[in-house]
Structure 1
Amino acid sequence: MSTEIQPLGGGVPDTTDEGLALLVRQAEAMDAAHKLATALCNTAMVPQVFRSKPDDAAAAILYGAELGLKPQQALQQVFVVHGQPAIYARTMAGLLKAKGYCFETVESTDESVTVTGTSPRGETETSTWSIDRAKKAGYTSNKKYASDPQAMLYAKALSEVCRKLAPDVLLGIRYTAEDLELEPRPVKATARRMDGQGQERGADAVRAALEAKKQQTGGDRTQLDKALAALAQVEDREHLDRIITHAQGIGMPPEQLTELAEAAATRAEELPEQEAA
């Protein structure tokens, strides 16, 4: 009886020609997007956040292309906040209507808005957003909920229906611009992990890491200090987002928003990953 080991059939899979072709197409698309972004970012036709930032603009153009947006549309409609892409609720609806989806406003008052959507296959989804629900979610810190509640509740209900009906079309977009209360100058959050002796953890790390900055920034820090104290007490990442959303809604100065976002990122490092529902 032979003891020679026979090789298994199939061998090690090779990189397919199709995969290589996809990489080539992506590289070509990135090059084209960057050329467009370089030209457009030197004009007044793009939002301030993309001015002189062709790399960021190119990424937005590519992401918009995946959604079906033209380059100029992508630069006006796609935003990146806390590392997450976001678009307006009306943009979501527009993209889906172009693919045969239908939407109907069932109810619209200052207290509650209900929207129903239907897919081309006949699937339906309905969402109701009330002022009470918005309060519980922490969104009513945005002053627009007082000045134009119907529009804000409609955006929430519409975007929820869109996400439920067509997550594949929207590429899993989690937020809308209305959710995040985007301003002309969005906050960029960065995280830094500190290892080695003397590393501080939890709420103490948040306070210690920002103590120096507290002495450097001027102006009234009352709201910022309250927000930092709240960050130190939260136990899940969802509440971190709510605190930043509230700060944006009350008009906290950009430099303080940046400080708050950095504190939130530091605190997020200390929190456990949430299990999927």
Structure 2
Amino acid sequence: MTELQKYNTDIHVPEVSDDGMAELMKQAEAMSAAHKLATVLCNTAMVPATFKGKPDDAAAAILYGAEVGLKPQQALQQVFVVHGQPAIYARTMAALLKAKGYKFSTVESTDESVTVDGVSPRGERETSTWTIQRAKTAGYTSNKKYQTDPQAMLYAKALSEVARKLAPDVLLGIKYTAEDLELEPVKATATRMDVQRGAEGVRAALAAKKQEPQPEPVPEQDDSSDYVAEVTEHLATLDTQEQVNDFMASLQAQDANLPEGVLAAGRARWEEINA
């Protein structure tokens, strides 16, 4: 017997259990049913523009909604698929958890600061405070709603943070809320470049720079290097891993194809803070 033959006889291929196969079949059937329903609904006026002509995304939203207790029509109104991951409104998070015995209360609510307290059925407690300054640092205030209704936006951030900390198992590790993704594009000018912060500040700085007279391009020059440098500079001002996560999420919400250098800068700053 050769060494190769001996090696092959030692390999053990695990068998798929009947329970495992049954679960796979169940998931396949659920996906098929969700896709058929999504295909029909996506051709109606009853679904948000997010899902128009996107039955695959709609099916994923329906399946996720079913996992957390939402009916298909509710899921298509409340669940969004962003970069391959589900996102829901903060108020939807709270509604789902309240139905399971979680309690939430507002400790403080002003245009400058909102504090939300939450208690799980087991008695676990979490509190979160979001201020305008914190939102600015994270790059969220480019959303005009922070100027027109700051309390509502800060409340959504504080509420979702408490909900995610108390019940990651119920929310299935959801990372985004719809409020996180409502970032309005900012028209950049040279005069605003110095005051913009966060993700929009980076975009504004680069847009303003492009308006200036530029020398002849250098062959094979990577024009993403300026963007990476701007992002890296802003990351250096962030002090917590949460701030880094929020800032990177806001960038990805605006551009799903971020340069690898930007992603690497985010990971590096996160690991630096962790260390």
CA displacement 1:159-191 (0-9 Å, x = unmatched): 0000000000000111111112268xxxxxxxx
The answer on 1:155 being equivalent to 2:156 is yes
> Paired residue for 1:89?
90
> Paired residue for 2:7?
none
Unaligned runs of 5+ in 2: 1-11, 185-205, 212-222, 236-243
> Paired residue for 1:6?
none
Q: How many Å apart are 1:229 and its aligned residue?
A: 6.8
> Paired residue for 1:58?
59
Provide the C-alpha distance between the structure 1 equivalents of 2:168 and 2:90, rounded to a whole number of angstroms.
14
Does 44-53 or 173-182 show the bigger shift? 173-182
Specify the SS of the correspondent of 1:117: strand
Residue pair 1:231, 1:240 contacting (<8 A) in 2 also: no
Provide the C-alpha distance between the structure 2 equivalents of 1:66 and 1:224, rounded to a whole number of angstroms.
47
Provide the C-alpha distance between the structure 2 equivalents of 1:23 and 1:223, rounded to a whole number of angstroms.
52
Residue pair 2:103, 2:118 contacting (<8 A) in 1 also: yes
> Paired residue for 1:139?
140
Specify the SS of the correspondent of 2:142: coil
Q: How many Å apart are 1:242 and its aligned residue?
A: 3.9
> Paired residue for 2:178?
177
Provide the C-alpha distance between the structure 2 equivalents of 1:26 and 1:137, rounded to a whole number of angstroms.
38
Q: Which has the higher contact order (CA 8 A, sep 6+)?
A: 1
The answer on 1:222 being equivalent to 2:218 is no
> Paired residue for 2:228?
232
Letter aligned with residue 222 of structure 1: A
Q: How many Å apart are 1:266 and its aligned residue?
A: 4.4
> Paired residue for 1:198?
none
Letter aligned with residue 85 of structure 1: P
Residue pair 2:128, 2:162 contacting (<8 A) in 1 also: yes
Provide the C-alpha distance between the structure 2 equivalents of 1:224 and 1:33, rounded to a whole number of angstroms.
47
> Paired residue for 2:190?
none
CA displacement 1:120-145 (0-9 Å, x = unmatched): 11111111111111111111111111
> Paired residue for 1:46?
47
Provide the C-alpha distance between the structure 2 equivalents of 1:176 and 1:111, rounded to a whole number of angstroms.
21
Specify the SS of the correspondent of 2:170: coil
Provide the C-alpha distance between the structure 2 equivalents of 1:29 and 1:84, rounded to a whole number of angstroms.
19
Q: How many Å apart are 1:12 and its aligned residue?
A: 5.3
Gap change, CA 1:272 and 1:95, over 3 Å in 2: closer
Provide the C-alpha distance between the structure 1 equivalents of 2:139 and 2:99, rounded to a whole number of angstroms.
32
Gap change, CA 1:57 and 1:24, over 3 Å in 2: same
Superposition TM-score, scaled by structure 1 size: 0.70
User: Once the two structures are aligned, what percentage of the paired residues are identical?
Assistant: 68
> Paired residue for 1:116?
117
Gap change, CA 1:164 and 1:270, over 3 Å in 2: closer
Letter aligned with residue 140 of structure 2: Y
Letter aligned with residue 30 of structure 2: A
- Coordinate RMSD, CA, aligned: 2.9
Residue pair 1:87, 1:175 contacting (<8 A) in 2 also: yes
Provide the C-alpha distance between the structure 2 equivalents of 1:102 and 1:77, rounded to a whole number of angstroms.
21
Letter aligned with residue 21 of structure 1: A
Unaligned runs of 5+ in 1: 1-10, 184-220, 246-256
Letter aligned with residue 116 of structure 2: V
Q: How many Å apart are 1:271 and its aligned residue?
A: 4.9
1:259-270 mapped onto 2 (5 Å cutoff): 260-262=255-257, 264-268=258-262
> Paired residue for 2:220?
none
Specify the SS of the correspondent of 1:128: strand
> Paired residue for 1:104?
105
Provide the C-alpha distance between the structure 2 equivalents of 1:225 and 1:98, rounded to a whole number of angstroms.
51
Provide the C-alpha distance between the structure 1 equivalents of 2:29 and 2:35, rounded to a whole number of angstroms.
10
> Paired residue for 1:126?
127
Letter aligned with residue 151 of structure 2: Q
Q: How many Å apart are 1:49 and its aligned residue?
A: 1.9
Provide the C-alpha distance between the structure 1 equivalents of 2:266 and 2:113, rounded to a whole number of angstroms.
35
Residue pair 1:85, 1:175 contacting (<8 A) in 2 also: yes
Specify the SS of the correspondent of 2:133: helix
Superposition TM-score, scaled by structure 2 size: 0.70
